Chains A and B, each alone.
Chain A
């Protein structure tokens, strides 16, 4: 594990969206923080697609003090939607002390990693959170056109709120791998939705988490009007996804009911000591609403 290095795992699914990936990587290359290792994970790309991907972003790595780049390709035929597997593949390729995540159509501000690393160093927490802004964008062939932005779009301000519902997009936090064990730092491949929230529940039930920088916006979360987001532009999924959502919701609830909250985390939550067998659900029930 390379001390102080940030590994940023970037999921990329669609080779037709290279100009969006290029924006995303440009925002990473522009990070003030170093050392940085960018791991682009793709799903069953052909050689030509891999080449195109590499060509599109390679010039960014000619800039001074450029970070390292790794591109990993998920080649197995299964599952069809390997989005969770991609994240785990990225984690397996990580070599640094810290890890962050970014989808190809989102961006981080230049100070993002610097802000987050400073907090982890200052607090000794296993994970630290900041905020992201939501921007709505029309997608054209060669560029995207921002039409609206929403500051502080997600409600929630602390661990209790996170246990209740996810308000932390995948690029709003940084994890210290020297604190969070590999066992807890993995995405459940049963899930293709809310997999990041599921992992956050596991981590935050066991390791100290820091929410002090929620007032600092460190990046943009793009809601695109062409529907190419995993989250639709209107923020609400279609009917088929609704079905899936019900299943995921149940799964998350199972996670809440089976994940134990470590005593020190119970303390962080302000709970009286409830003992060793306190689940997230127990903790929530014990907390004032």
Chain B
């Protein structure tokens, strides 16, 4: 059992693996370096003598990982010496390159030690590692010359304290120092001396006080940990050699390939492979020589070549033989390493049978690694075996095999694999321990390696991701899944290889005829009503008539949605409240079942809440951009339906970050039962494909098998945050099957610019191309013709294409909109005793901005004086429409009058502008673009400049929790629906009130970050009267929106300043509107950015 002082000289960091391994006599000391850095947390670290940098970068790795703010300096001439040998500049260059990742805190100082010492002030270094020339006099000089630079309680490391040959004198000097200072000495790895100059820093006491058994144990543990690194270094070297050999094998000469091919002629296994390949070619998936540019076509053609087949078979044979040899070698190495580890374990165990090698936590950790890697090992062997059985049907097989081989190398070379051989043996004999051990160990391992939070998040994401690709019928911030939930097996790969998973690029590269003659319905489930404006914007891209059938969860949401779609001129709008059951699937197939008889085509959409920290957050936008990103895309979709009467469903090619989740999950049995009811059979061994995210275009007839199931809402599972294995999840996987069952085909479309890692996107530039795509690039799930699911999961894609974000930004900003000069835009100013300079700047800037937008300025500046008359100051009668002053009607009251007048005069957009600010010349254009991009269904504020308000806005959708009235664009519809500002607010908070009311009535709130509005609020003193006015408005807002706590706080603030609280009784808003208010951040009314 480990002694307590030993465990206190260990931590999770002791078990880290170095990122950088190179030839170094220091290699075995990295675990101690990690621990020491963790325990000491030095402010400044200096290494004298860095050479290749192994030791230095071990410290840097720990500094970076611990994020402890240490500055590190490597001092070396990088020219070598008698001991290390002399070398050229390449060593320095390589060290410089590696240092880039640590450049935020690490500097390489290319100088002699004496020169470099000048750069450091006295008493400034907490940790120094002296590893320069090793003669006695040299190390003494190094120590003495740097001693003044060290802090009082610095730690000094000396390498090579256990080398006595070749004139090394470090041992002698260290012994001298050790007689005067607390010290500890490791003997492995040429020896490492640790010296404490003054008071031993906290956390290191046990190291320096260790003697006898405890010192031996500390040495034993670190020697063992270091020894594994030496083994790793050796194995890396071996692996590199093997890779080189494999490379040679892959480049086997034609002659050798010929010979191997002949072997293949009589080898039954190879014969099976060859037959499978020929079957694959016979399926017709391989595309012939035509004018259609289909990705992978060349590869398919070359595969047809007998010579190429022979060559690939030869390569495969060669690789398999190599693998077999490696497996044998691996077994031998494992045995040897097991013995090594057992030996090293005895160094650290008093009673080996009783307790583990290191700490209580290490045993579970090691056992977990064993299980994981054993399983992975087995999987790899099984995959290799499958490879030989199933044959090399696709080009990717060879590459995949090589990738597996590399992975195999990595496992075999891993420290954990070596270290855990004894544990594997134990657990192999005690299977009952595996599951509990695995659960406990995962927690320990993740905690020890600092992965716990990340892993939890990843699990949550995984759970939320594919299975919940359906509509948010539940807010999936629901409780995370059981951390240690047992997963009996990984879902099998079910999709086809990405290389033959074809999609057609949209928009088509030719003139489209979208006049299908059939009526279109968009069936939309909006569980999150706040996306209504966004969906309206996308749906506007559908040319011609489209009726909207929208479902949601309650009456209030329905009212918001109805308002958001008011004035929809392209067809009917019907909003239904449905039970929160069956996610988006039940509403579409059950609640709106009647829709399909009336419409030839349907578009299935649904809301899905975005969380920008989540890689899947942009999924909604991805699908919307693919399916109806612009009218040209929609025209292409409709054209395809028109050209091919047997086309039933058009879906988007998979979202790249989730495509590796394309599998049955826990839904096969449920799907099988449904399939049986629909009259067809599904085979789990055949490829699966489905419209992931469950948004797609369809011919109504293609969904008939699903509709004819006559499902009822009650058939669907009660909502409880399920991640998988519900009726809805099963149906999602059956859309394409049902389509085929109804006698139709399906295709996937892709907007190429938003795919970065997806092959097989086929451009079509003519009708003929499209026809050819239908003929040769489509796939039938019910008749796979020998095509099998991919054998390996494609490399996960960590984030969507950056272009997707740009498209979302462009859409929100209205980047594609050219402002029509006929657009009638008014600018409104309510003045109140402003200075002449202020007014002239505000008016002049507004005029320039209008002109630059190409808009008429004739009478377009609506002006009302709440204070002194400005007619003498602002005399441009052609510019102004003046309203007669009626005293001070307040900010909101003044703008209401101006808006009323402007809209009555035919203006479409009104921009409220504070008279103490100035519009940037481009501001009006940008504001108008954004209002028009939202079809007038958004209030759009300009960005206050140069000091922004700290409330947040989404940099992609530009959504913001509330909009400021300082510079605010409002459409006529918005004014009419909302009634303008609440005139009960004399000044302040009326814009917040308007914003929340707007959200409750189906309007979006946007910040236009391109439209700058100079608002000189910096270094501005706030008078007590102003403060009183703000607080009084706050109280009114609180009363109106039912925020008692906020109101109490304001009462206290007013009282503290000697003011009486106002007597106000504003009409309270409906209770359900309160969800749009936020009083939890005082007057920020939203979580501020800073």
Q: What is A's interface to B at a CB cutoff of 8 Å?
A: 19, 22-23, 26-27, 30, 32, 59-60, 62-65, 107-111, 115, 138, 140-149, 216-220, 234, 236-240, 242-243, 246
Contacts and interface: CB of A to CB of B under 8 A. Distances in A.
Given A27-B945, A65-B837, A238-B103, A109 B809 contact: no
Most buried by B among A145, A217, A219, A220: A145
B259 interface: no
Contact of B848 (A59, A111, A216, A220): A59
A217 B845 contact: no
B60 to A, nearest CB: 12
B98 to A, nearest CB: 9
A240 B1009 CA distance: 35
A277 to B, nearest CB: 23
Contact of A142 (B107, B815, B953): B815
Nearest to A133: B947
Contacts of A145: 953, 955, 1009
Contacts of B918: 30, 63
Contacts of A60: 920-921
- Secondary structure at the A interface, as helix, strand, loop or mixed, is mixed
B492 interface: no
Given A63-B841, A64-B841, A142-B815, A148 B100 contact: no
Interface string B941-978: 00101111010010100000000000000000000000
B1009 to A, nearest CB: 4
Contacts of A243: 108
B103 A64 contact: no
B955 A138 contact: yes
Nearest to B809: A140
Contacts of B1019: 109, 111, 115, 216-218
Contacts of A234: 104
27 contacts: A22-B922, A23-B945, A23-B946, A26-B1012, A26-B1014, A27-B945, A30-B918, A32-B837, A59-B852, A62-B844, A64-B841, A65-B840, A108-B946, A109-B1018, A111-B1016, A142-B809, A142-B813, A142-B1010, A143-B1009, A148-B1089, A148-B1090, A218-B1019, A220-B947, A236-B103, A237-B103, A238-B103, A239-B100
Interface residues of B, number: 42
Interface of B: 96, 99-100, 103-105, 107-109, 119, 806, 809, 813, 815, 837, 840-841, 844-845, 848, 852, 918, 920-922, 943, 945-948, 950, 953, 955, 1009-1010, 1012, 1014, 1016, 1018-1019, 1089-1090
A108 B1014 CA distance: 12
A52 to B, nearest CB: 15
B914 to A, nearest CB: 14
A63 B848 contact: yes
A118 to B, nearest CB: 12
Nearest to A27: B946
Contacts of B946: 23, 27, 30, 107-110, 219-220
Contacts of B1010: 19, 142-143
B947 A109 contact: yes
A239 B108 contact: yes
A135 B74 CA distance: 32
Contact of A147 (B96, B848, B1089): B1089
A106 to B, nearest CB: 10
A115 B1016 CA distance: 14
A146 B921 contact: no
A89 to B, nearest CB: 26
A180 to B, nearest CB: 26
B845 A63 contact: yes
B844 A63 contact: yes
Contacts of B108: 239, 242-243
8 nearest interchain CB pairs? A59-B921, A64-B844, A143-B1009, A109-B1018, A145-B955, A236-B104, A107-B946, A110-B1016
Contacts of A219: 946
A23 B923 CA distance: 12
Nearest to A149: B1090
Nearest to A220: B946
Contacts of A30: 918, 946, 1014, 1016
A240 B809 CA distance: 35
A143 B950 CA distance: 16
B861 to A, nearest CB: 14
Given A110-B1018, A148-B1089, 18 more contacts: A22-B922, A23-B946, A32-B1016, A59-B848, A63-B841, A63-B844, A63-B848, A65-B840, A107-B946, A110-B1016, A111-B1019, A142-B815, A145-B1009, A217-B1018, A236-B103, A236-B104, A237-B103, A240-B96
Contacts of B920: 22, 26, 60
A62 B845 CA distance: 8
B120 to A, nearest CB: 12
Contacts of A23: 945-946, 1012
B805 to A, nearest CB: 9
B1012 A242 contact: no
Contacts of A216: 1019
A142 B1014 CA distance: 18
Contacts of A220: 946-947
A239 B103 contact: yes
B806 to A, nearest CB: 7
Given A64-B840, A217-B1019, A246-B109, A239 B99 contact: yes
Nearest to B95: A239
A149 B813 CA distance: 25
Nearest to A142: B1010
Most buried by A among B96, B109, B921, B948: B921
Nearest to A58: B921
Contacts of B1014: 26, 30, 110
A141 B104 contact: no
A175 B837 CA distance: 27
Contacts of B955: 138, 140, 145
A141 B806 contact: yes
Contacts of B1089: 146-149
Nearest to B1020: A111
A112 to B, nearest CB: 9
A62 B100 contact: no
B72 to A, nearest CB: 12
Contacts of B104: 234, 236
Contacts of A22: 920, 922
